[in-house]
Amino acid sequence: MASSPSLLEETMLLFFVFLLFTSCSLSAQETVHKNDSLSFSFPLTSLRRSSQASPSFYSSFISQNKKAPPLKTSSFSSSPYNYRSGFKYSMILLVSLPIGTPPQTQEMILDTGSQLSWIQCHKKVPKKPPPSSVFDPSLSSSFSVLPCNHPLCKPRIPDFTLPTSCDQNRLCHYSYFYADGTLAEGNLVREKITFSRSQSTPPLILGCAEESRDDKGILGMNLGRLSFASQAKITKFSYCVPTRQARPGLTSTGSFYLGENPNSGGFQYISLLTFSQSQRMPNLDPLAYTVAMQGIRVGNQKLNIPISAFRPGPSGAGQTMIDSGSEFTYLVDEAYNKVREEVVRLVGPKLKKGYVYGGVSDMCFDGNPIEIGRLIGNMVFEFDKGVEIVVEKERVLAEVGGGVHCVGIGRSEMLGAASNIIGNFHQQNIWVEFDLANRRVGLGKADCSRSV
């Protein structure tokens, strides 16, 4: 048996690979924008996730009882860098980021509904080919841990509702449950994200998960002051979700930008809704990307849903948010029932009777999805300023396994939520840009498997 390489040899090897990788990447795909900032493109392969009994839902707000105030626009400054990556897509949006010094590639779920970013730091490294999904802190010179006396380890920290405590080593320990039951538990740490030899973030506060039910990390991108976007002073980010591949073994790759997107000239923008301290309500997430939805069309039929169903009421119920961490779209009952009525009117006899996918969606079918999609027609989500998300009839149904296809919409009430959530299934072949400095969201049609 060959002897294991020493820590020094491993570190030198990693650093050499990084230098080789970044020099190739920079020479091939470095871009200068009009503002003279650089954009770095990192290639990324695609991976289909294993089948599940329910749709993915990684956003954390539904699992939290405490709420926090929205981030002030003035806290954003010009982005210090621009970065582009592809991401893997099956039921989650998966990006790979180079973390640490020298960098270790980490796969992270892109989640605009969460604040805390965390990486996998399991002590027992799984037996899998490199790059491993597990981060090794001992190999990074920029890694540090947060002690118990750090302000974040004290209760009632504004804008950060994560349960923290002191562990036996006097380090800041956290435990985080997501809405779909995913658990992340470990220590809060500081670490850099290294985009190139000359560009990296300052040390950011991250979770270093030693216990997790998922083998991926989370890239928290909401409006909280401790999200990745806020800590790294990102003023703009965007992604393009490719269409799902129907055949097993095939996966899709889209694009993810930090900073300027060269495609933004064709985007249509809708304003983000903001909420003052006095407007904080039990069912409202003030850190979400909240937009003003106006209505829904199915086929050529505008559904009779009052606009009030898409706006926060006195309790906060009815908020409409765009969320990359949710697979399906979720609607409050007043809206969901109208969508279901229209689907029943169009294809009622073809419904799979008594079947509810994941406990959230009862608009499912055994039959030919192409034929059923044609009968349902396009589905359109209408926003202010005439902006629309058009879901073409070929993409109205989501394959959920066993030959069953469902309309990609669930009841938010079944999640314990009182919100309308536009999930990534209905963001396919669309550029979605979050312009934080101008508090708006941009949408633009695209062929995301070919977008650059």
> Which residues are annotated as catalytic?
111, 323
β-sheet bridge partners, residue 322:
422
Amino acid at 193: I
Helix (H) or strand (E) holding 104: strand 104-111
Contact in structure between 366 and 448 (CB atoms under 8 Å) = no
**Runs of H (alpha helix) within 236-349:** 333-347
How many separate helices (H) and strands (E) can be counted in the chain? 4, 28
β-sheet bridge partners, residue 193:
99
Q: Counting Cβ atoms within 10 Å, is residue 24 exposed (0-12), middle (13-18) or buried (19+)?
A: exposed
Helix (H) or strand (E) holding 93: strand 93-99
What are the C-alpha distances in Å from 77 to residues 71, 72, 225, 374, 435? 13, 11, 13, 47, 12
Distance of alpha carbon 309 from the chain centroid: 24
Q: What is the DSSP letter of 338?
A: H
Q: At what angle do helices 369-376 and 333-347 cross, to 10 degrees?
A: 110
Q: What is the DSSP letter of 308?
A: G
Distance CA 197, CA 103 (A): 10
Amino acid at 73: T
Peptide bond into 80 cis (omega under 30): no
Both tokens of 343, joined, read 């689907």
Which of 425, 442, 64 has the alpha carbon at shortest distance from 224? 64
| Other beta carbons within 10 Å of 426 | 24
Distance of alpha carbon 1 from the chain centroid: 43
What are the C-alpha distances in Å from 21 to residues 8, 46, 99, 222, 258? 20, 19, 14, 30, 19
Amino acid at 262: P
What are the C-alpha distances in Å from 404 to residues 47, 350, 369, 379? 22, 12, 9, 20
Peptide bond into 131 cis (omega under 30): yes
